[in-house]
Amino acid sequence: MAVVSIPGGGEVDQLYAETRALRLQGFLLFLVSDIVLFSSFIFAYLYLRNSGQGWPPPGVVRPAISLGAVNAAILFGSGATMHYALENFKHGKFMRYAGFMISTIILGLLFLTGQGIEYYTLYVHDHVSWSGSGIFGASFFTLTGMHGFHVFCGVWYLTILLLQSVHGVYDKNKYFGLTAGTLYWHFVDVIWVVLFSIFYLV
């Protein structure tokens, strides 16, 4: 395989160098498609919400901001650990990278656990459901459920990336998979900022 020089010294195979930008572009287009998906549901929810007589609808209990805030802190913390995981990998500090990566995965699982507890509380104790609580229930469970599914997929993705790293798939010159994983994880962070704002704060 032919190799080419890279800025800062070192070499990387030519195929990787030629396709890296294309893969990044493709991944960014995937994220844009996800943004369109979430935006469609979010704007539909906001339109329907603002067309009603009052909010939340009578008899519907809004989710507790305390649990939502804890989940938000957990997810935002995982965004920081993911950032440091990538930075340490790029600088050849594998053990620190692995530690931050494992921390990110654990925090993602904690977020999903917190979301499960919240769903249970809303459904069993507050009698808020997807089909029985009007626009709010349908929108809340649809949007947070979609987001939770993305977090679940992200946890699996990061786990696979970690295992690939252990087996030498990536090195400090070739790590596009880790870059994509970091972008994806920051994406779920940003989406949660929006969802937390419209369901818990506004």
Which residues, 6 or more positions from 117, have their beta carbon under 8 angstroms from its beta carbon?
67
* 79 within 8 A of 53, measured Cβ to Cβ: no
Positions of the chain with pLDDT under 50: 1-10
pLDDT digits (tens, 9 = 90+) for 148-169: 999 999 999 999 999 999 999 9
Question: Residue 12 has what pLDDT?
Answer: 55
Arch. (CATH architecture) of 23-201: Up-down Bundle (1.20)
**Of 142, 1, 157, 153, nearest to 85 (Cα)?**
157
pTM confidence score: 0.87
Question: Residue 185 has what pLDDT?
Answer: 97
Q: Which residues pair with 5 in a beta bridge?
A: 11
Domain locations along the chain: 23-201
Q: Which amino acid is at 160?
A: I
